[in-house]
């Protein structure tokens, strides 16, 4: 009798006829909106909307049509549409594909190659910020780490004669090691003294920038002896990442993809990567579990500096034929923060974010030339992306985000 009762209890009762059926489509949408990638996408969309508003306010044709808005409101909306659509179409054509220039394969692929050219150092530098985020640190010293890496990689490139391929590899490795040393200083001071990494990295940015300026003015260090300006000697031909014939893209994008895969394996599959994530989630619990939090902190900043130094090396070896200046970082060190935030510090998210920002850089020049819209609009878009990512509640309100969805 007891066995029969147990078997009856184990059999689940059928659901009532009026119970709601499972909606697979709604569940997929719920999972999609519960994930953080959707917030990143909506942050980009919101920034594009803000950019469209700014274009409308600053466009002279829209302003002229707005002068007689109540008489002919259609003219204002038509001018606004032409200004916004023209700007974003030019941005797309300069970054991805221009259907008006299809005379040759080179013209068809030129915009995409320019995007990949700009994206390569952005992706690598973005990982330098992302790996610090994983440990709960803020690596705002990307500029200094890139400058140190670029200076060392450039010095190897124009002073140390080596065979092709090997010369580029040695220059890039030297730049990564220099950046690792510059970032490791911050990690060590953070671990030993508790000094805040944001203050340390900001100060070291100034030290690196002024140090590179001094070296570029000294003919015994980095300055070209045949030039009175603060510029380095030209790189040896064996130390240059040569572009594909007819395009701007070079092997730097392949290096960036390889670094993304390495970052993914390290964070997701290695024991040390597990410690990075554990310390980032709860350093006290990680310490109680026997992890060396100070060592992890030092290594995280060193690895972040290595990525930044490698990005600086790619900048030097990928675009310099007549020497480099103290502005070789091209703002990438700070732009990498936005890339890491948009990519949510994940390897593939950072890759996509780097490609997006590379497209903005490439398309921004075409937008400026075709529509006379300042390229500073791209910087405004990036700033609003950071704003919306930092304020997920605002994004949820704007797009009527489902209640209960996580940020």
Q: What is the pLDDT of residues 74-100, one digit of tens each?
A: 888 898 898 888 888 888 888 888 777
Give kind and range of the element (H or E) at residue 389: helix 376-390
Contact, 145 vs 124, CB < 8 A?
no
* Alpha helices in 160-292, H assignment, sequence order: 166-193, 197-217, 252-269, 271-281, 283-288
* Better-predicted residue by pLDDT, 44 or 260: 260
Average pLDDT value for residue range 48-73: 86
- pLDDT the model gives residue 26: 52
Instruction: Render the burial of 14-45: b for 16+ CB within 10 Å, e for the rest.
Output: eeeeeeeeeeeeeeeeeeebeeeebbbebbbe
Q: Give me the mean pLDDT over the 306-327 stretch.
A: 88
β strands within 236-355, DSSP E: none
Q: What is the model's pLDDT at position 72? A: 86
Say how far apart CA 203 and CA 145 lie, in whole Å.
12
Contact 208, 144 (CB under 8 A): yes
> Within a 10 A sphere around the Cβ of 229, how many other Cβ atoms?
10
Q: Is residue 5 very low, low, confident or very high in pLDDT (cuts 50, 70, 90)?
A: very low
pLDDT for residue 405 is more than 70: no
Q: Which of 114-128, 232-246, 333-347 has the highest mean pLDDT?
A: 114-128
Q: C-alpha distances in angstroms, 272 versus 106, 135, 310, 377? A: 44, 11, 21, 41
What is d(CA 272, CA 289) in angstroms, rounded to the nearest whole number?
14
Nearest to 129 by CA among 353, 327, 345, 325: 345
Are 231 and 324 spatial neighbours (Cβ–Cβ below 8 Å)? yes
The pLDDT, as a whole number, for residue 8 is: 46
Flag whether pLDDT at 31 surpasses 70.
Answer: no
- Distance (Å, whole) CA 280 – CA 127: 16
Which tokens in the block code for residue 101? 């220039």
Integer distance in angstroms from the first to the last C-alpha of the chain?
Answer: 53
pLDDT exceeds cutoff 90 at 368: no
The token pair that represents 320 in the structure block: 């310099």
CA 27/CA 5 separation, integer angstroms: 36
Q: What percent of the chain has pLDDT over 90?
A: 44
Nearby residues of 293 by Cβ (< 8 Å), 6 or more positions away: 191, 279, 283, 286, 287
Q: CA 152, 156, 158, 164 torsion: positive or negative? A: negative
What is the pLDDT at residue 387? 84
pLDDT at 146 over 70: yes
Distance CA 179, CA 157 (A): 16
Alpha-carbon span 305 to 323, nearest angstrom: 23
Distance, in Å, from the CA atom of 259 to the CA atom of 131, rounded to the nearest integer, reads 12
Query: Shortest CA distance to 312 belongs to which of 144, 66, 161, 80?
Result: 144
Alpha-carbon distance 402 to 333, whole Å?
35
Q: What gap in Å lies between CA 151 and CA 365, rounded to an integer? A: 27
Residue 337 has pLDDT above 80, yes or no: yes
Give start and end residues of each alpha helix (H) in 218-251. Answer: none
Decide if pLDDT at 407 tops 80.
Answer: no
pLDDT higher than threshold 70 for residue 9: no
- Rounded-to-integer distance, Cα 227 and Cα 175, Å: 24
């Amino acid at each position: 009798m007891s066995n029969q009762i147990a078997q009856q209890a184990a059999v689940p009762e059928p659901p009532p006829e009026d119970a709601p059926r499972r909606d697979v489509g709604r569940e997929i949408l719920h999972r999609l909106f519960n994930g953080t990638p959707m917030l990143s996408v909506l942050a980009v969309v919101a920034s594009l909307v803000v950019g469209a508003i700014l274009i409308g306010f600053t466009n002279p044709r829209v302003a002229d049509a707005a002068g007689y808005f109540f008489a002919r409101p259609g003219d204002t909306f038509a001018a606004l549409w032409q200004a916004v659509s023209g700007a974003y179409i030019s941005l797309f054509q300069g970054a991805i594909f221009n259907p008006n220039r299809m005379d040759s394969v080179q013209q068809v692929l030129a915009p995409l190659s320019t995007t990949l050219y700009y994206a390569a150092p952005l992706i690598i530098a973005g990982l330098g910020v992302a790996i610090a985020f994983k440990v709960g640190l803020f690596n705002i010293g990307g500029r200094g780490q890139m400058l140190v890496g670029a200076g060392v990689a450039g010095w190897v490139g124009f002073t140390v004669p080596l065979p092709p391929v090997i010369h580029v590899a040695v220059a890039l490795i030297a730049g990564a090691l220099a950046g690792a040393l510059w970032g490791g200083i911050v990690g060590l001071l953070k671990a030993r003294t508790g000094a805040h990494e944001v203050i340390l990295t900001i100060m070291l940015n100034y030290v690196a920038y002024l140090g590179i300026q001094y070296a570029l003015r000294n003919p015994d260090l980095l300055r070209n002896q045949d030039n009175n300006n603060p510029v380095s000697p030209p790189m040896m031909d064996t130390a240059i990442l040569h572009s594909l014939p007819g395009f701007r893209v070079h092997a730097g994008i392949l290096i960036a993809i390889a670094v993304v895969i390495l970052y993914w394996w390290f964070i997701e599959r290695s024991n040390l990567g597990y410690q990075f994530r554990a310390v980032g989630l709860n350093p006290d619990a990680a310490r109680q579990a026997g992890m060396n939090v100070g060592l992890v902190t030092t290594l995280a900043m060193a690895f972040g500096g290595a990525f930044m130094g490698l990005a600086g090396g790619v900048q030097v070896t990928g675009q310099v034929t007549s020497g480099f200046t103290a502005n070789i970082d091209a703002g990438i060190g700070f732009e990498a923060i936005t890339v890491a935030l948009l990519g949510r510090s994940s390897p593939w998210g950072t890759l996509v974010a780097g490609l997006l920002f590379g497209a903005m850089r490439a398309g921004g020049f075409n937008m400026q030339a075709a529509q006379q819209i300042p390229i500073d609009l791209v910087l405004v878009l990036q700033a609003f992306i950071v704003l919306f990512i930092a304020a997920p509640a605002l994004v949820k309100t704007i797009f009527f985000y489902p209640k209960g969805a996580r940020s």
